[in-house]
Structure 1
Amino acid sequence: MPDLSILATPAPYHILTYGTLMGSTFFQSFVNGIIAYQALPKPMFSQLQQKIFPVYFTMQTALPAVLALTYPGSLGGSSSISGVLEKSNKWGVLVPLATMFVTGLANVAYIGPETTRIMRERKVQGMCSIPFLYYVYGN
């Protein structure tokens, strides 16, 4: 029978979380976004992105937190949050994880919704200006 004791440590979950974060970022940035932009008309692409980005940014916020919780620690060092907060891990672990968390949180809480609001506002302005132009300038 295989030894499953490794599943009681944070290490496999840390690796899976890191792979999920990196894979989803790569796929959204270099595969999904590009193919959708090329294959869909602009209005449909916009609708797709409005649905995908909140989920994507939520993952970009949550997964760095999970990475911090599952940090396995370096040789002889602490694991989990205490390992992340060790002075020796400040620049190599804490700052990158905090940066990912803060930028993901900014995207999900403010930048994404504000961008969507502005896009909708401009779409309405564009739709309203066309009849006005016909009225002013004729056919």
Structure 2
Amino acid sequence: MFRRLGLHTRAPYHVFLYSLIFGATTFHSFILSPIAFKLLKREDFGNLQNKIFPGYFIAQTISPVLLGLTAPYTVCPFGIGVLATSAVAGALNYFVLLPWCHSIKEERVKLQKELGADAEPTEELVNLNKKFGRAHALSSIANMVSIFTLAIYGTYLTRSLNKV
């Protein structure tokens, strides 16, 4: 397909895609989010993340698949496994953990409105906060798995490109 388009090698496109997804995920996770968390009010930070996360997790899901399809070399089972793990982590975040976190946040907001702004936290609210903490922790782990597997793939990529 690439040759028909006049593109004789997939390597530049593959490396660009890898750089884009690895750079975006690491920048968001380790620079942008911590800064936004410190500077924004909790509600504003949550709104920002709600806008970013769907696209972010879709990118974490689709990019490893595209990397596998555009590899300028034959991807061995190890490389496929690393990319598949990364894609599964992104899909888990998008299809399972993101909706779970969102539903908990909606429950929490509804309960906080019922209780009023100055009310003491109820046992139900404390339990919702703990439930959100678990969901968020699982999402963070899945995110780190995606980033870590992409880093492993980057090492594999540089070794493989040396052979091309």
Which interval holds the TM-score relative to the shorter structure? 0.7 to 0.9
Aligned length: 116
What amino acid is aligned across from residue 87 of structure 2 in structure 1? F
Q: Which runs of 5+ in 1 are unaligned?
A: 74-82, 135-139
Partners of 1:124 and 1:14 in 2: how far apart?
Answer: 46
Give the equivalent residue in structure 2 for 1:116. Answer: 102
Give the equivalent residue in structure 1 for 2:40. Answer: 40
What amino acid is aligned across from residue 104 of structure 1 in structure 2? G
Say which SS state the counterpart of residue 116 (structure 2) adopts: helix
Give the equivalent residue in structure 2 for 1:98. Answer: 84
Contact 1:21-1:59 at 8 Å conserved across structures = yes
Partners of 1:130 and 1:90 in 2: how far apart?
Answer: 55
Give the equivalent residue in structure 1 for 2:155. Answer: none
Provide Cα deviations, 1:85-133, integer angstroms capped at 9, x if missing partner.
xxxx222x011100011111111112112111111111111221238x5
What amino acid is aligned across from residue 23 of structure 2 in structure 1? G
Partners of 2:10 and 2:59 in 1: how far apart?
Answer: 19
Contact 1:6-1:12 at 8 Å conserved across structures = no
Deviation for aligned residue 1:6? 8.7
**Off by >4 Å, runs of 4+ in structure 1:** none
Q: Which runs of 5+ in 2 are unaligned?
A: 121-164
Partners of 2:37 and 2:104 in 1: how far apart?
Answer: 20
Contact 1:62-1:101 at 8 Å conserved across structures = yes
Computed over aligned residues only, the root mean square deviation of the Cα atoms, in angstroms, reads 2.2
Partners of 1:108 and 1:94 in 2: how far apart?
Answer: 21
Partners of 1:98 and 1:110 in 2: how far apart?
Answer: 17
Deviation for aligned residue 1:15? 0.1
> Which residues of 2 match residues 28-107 of structure 1 at below 5 A?
28-73=28-73, 83-84=74-75, 89-91=76-78, 93-107=79-93
Say which SS state the counterpart of residue 8 (structure 1) adopts: coil
Partners of 2:60 and 2:8 in 1: how far apart?
Answer: 25
Say which SS state the counterpart of residue 72 (structure 2) adopts: coil
Identity of aligned residues (%): 37
Give the equivalent residue in structure 2 for 1:9. Answer: 9
Deviation for aligned residue 1:71? 0.8
Give the equivalent residue in structure 2 for 1:77. Answer: none
